[in-house]
Structure 1
C-alpha cells in the first residue's frame, strides 16, 4: 500500500490521492501477513537473534542511552501527537465551513481515524494491555526475569504496556501514511527541492523511529512488523471509505 500511495504523489488533485487498486493492495497485504506469520513460526528465535545484535553482555542495550537517539525517538513521537491534534483541528474547522485546503474533512477524517483505530484503540487499548508479552530488555536472555514468548501467543509475562505490538511503531506508521496523504496538497506550495526533502523525511523519520524500538531493546522485530501491518490494514479500509472518489 505504501508503494501505491507513494506513486500517487505525482499529484492529480488536492483533496484526494489518485485511485489505489484496493484488490491488489489487499492481496499484497495478505501476502505480507502470510510471510510474516510463516517466518516467525518457522524461526521462533528470529526475534531473539535480531535483538541480540544490539545487546552487550553486562551493559544491556547500549543504544538506549545515546542522547541523540532519544531526541530522534521523541521527535517522531511528538510529530505523531501533533499530526493527530492537527487532524482533530482540521475536522473542527471543516465542520464550521472553514476547511484547510488540502486537509478537508475526508482527509482529516482519514488521519484522525487512522490514529484512533490503530495506535490508540487497537494497539494501546487492546493488544499492549492484554497480550502479556514481555519486552526484550525484561527477558532472561537479556538480563531480565521474564520469559520470552512468541508473538502469536497471548502470555502472562507482562501486566501492562507490554511489548506486542509496538505502540510507537504503529504511531510512526500512521505518521508516515498521514504525511504521504498530505503530500499532494503540499506539492502545490513547496518548491521542488523542498518537496523532495519533505518526502524523504516523511519516510525516513518514521522508519528510523520504528527501527529504534528494536535497537534499544524496547520491542522485538515481530512487535514492529505486526504493528506496521495492522496500521496498514486499517489505512487500506479507511482509504476505501474516505479517500476513494465515488463514481456517480
Structure 2
C-alpha cells in the first residue's frame, strides 16, 4: 500500500498557500469583524445560530473524524494480531496521529486554552464584554478560546483519510480531498454563524491540520520502511 502511495504535494501547497493568503487578508483588513457582523444584529443576536444545519454540525459534525480515528486505532492494534492487517499499519498510525496531534494536542490542548482570543460573541462589537483581539495578538490563558477552531480542525482532519486513496483513482481521489477540505470549511462556517469563531480561526485550523497531515504522510508513507 505504501509502495503504491506517491504523494503529490499539489493539494498541500494549494491549500496552505491559499489559506495563508486569506489569513494575510484578515490581518490587513477588518474581514474578521465584518464577516461576523453579517450574522449578528443587536436586537436578535446571532440570528442564524439555531438553523438546523449549524446545530447538527455543532452536535454531530465531529463524529466522522472520531469514527475514522477509532477505526484506524482498532486496525492498528489488530495489525499485531492479524498478519493480513499489517500492510495497513502505518496508514492507520497516520490517521490516529493526525486527529490526536492536530485537533487534539495543538488546537485544543495548546492554542485554544493558552492563546486567549475572545470569541466573537464575547467581544463588545457583538454584545459581549471583552475587547476584540486580532489573531496575531494573544491575550494569555483565561481570556478566550476562539483561536483556533476545534470543530473546523476535526473537519479538516478528514483530509488524512482522503489522501490515503491510491493515485490510480485520480479523479475520485481529487474529489475526496476537495470534499474533506470543504467539510472543514463547512464546519468552520457553522461556528462563524454561531458567533463561536472568526474566519481567521477557521483558516488557521486548516493550515495546522493540513500541515500535520502532510508531514506525517511524508514521514511514514512516502517511502517504504524496512520490514514494513
Question: TM-score interval w.r.t. the shorter chain?
Answer: 0.7 to 0.9
The question of 1:66 aligning with 2:67 is answered: no
Residue in structure 2 matching 1:172, options 141, 155, 164: 155
Q: Which runs of 5+ in 1 are unaligned?
A: 1-13, 188-194
Distance in 2 separating the partners of 1:216 and 1:16: 44
Please give the alpha-carbon distance, in whole angstroms, between the structure 2 residues aligned to 1:114 and 1:179. Answer: 10
1:129 is aligned to 2:113: yes
CA separation of 1:107 and 1:52: change in aligned 2, threshold 3 A: same
Task: Quote how far apart the aligned CAs of 1:82 are.
Answer: 1.5
Q: Does 1:91 align with 2:69?
A: no
Alignment TM-score, normalising by the size of structure 2: 0.83
Determine helix, strand or coil for the equivalent of 1:88.
helix
Superimposed CA distance per residue, residues 159-186 of structure 1 (whole angstroms, 9 cap, x where no aligned partner): 17600000111111002x133135449x
Inter-partner Cα distance in structure 2 for 1:78 and 1:247: 32
Matches of 1:15 and 1:116 in 2, distance apart? 22
Paired with 1:99 and 1:134, the residues of 2 have a C-alpha distance of 49
- Looking at structure 2, the residues matched to 34 and 208 of structure 1 have their Cα atoms a distance apart, in angstroms, of 18
Corresponding pairs, count: 222
Give, in whole Å, the separation in 1 of the partners of 2:111 and 2:181. Answer: 26
Q: What is aligned with 2:133?
A: 149
Tell me if the contact between 2:72 and 2:96 (Cα under 8 Å) persists in the aligned partners: yes
CA RMSD after TM alignment:
3.1
Q: Name the CA distance, whole Å, in 1 between partners of 2:95 and 2:52.
A: 30
- Note the 1:72-221 alignment, pairs <5 A: 72-98=57-83, 100=85, 104-156=88-140, 159=142, 162-175=145-158, 177-184=159-166, 199=176, 202=180, 204-221=182-199
TM-score of the aligned structures, taking structure 1 as reference length: 0.77
The superposition leaves residues 142-199 of structure 1 with CA deviations (integer Å, 9 ceiling, x where unpaired) of 011111000011115x617600000111111002x133135449x7xxxxxxx79x94
SS at match of 2:56: helix
Residues 221 and 17 (structure 1), Cα distance of their counterparts in 2 relative to 1, 3 Å cut:
farther
Q: Distance in 2 between matches of 1:143 and 1:17?
A: 54
Structure 1 position 40 matched with structure 2 position 26 = yes
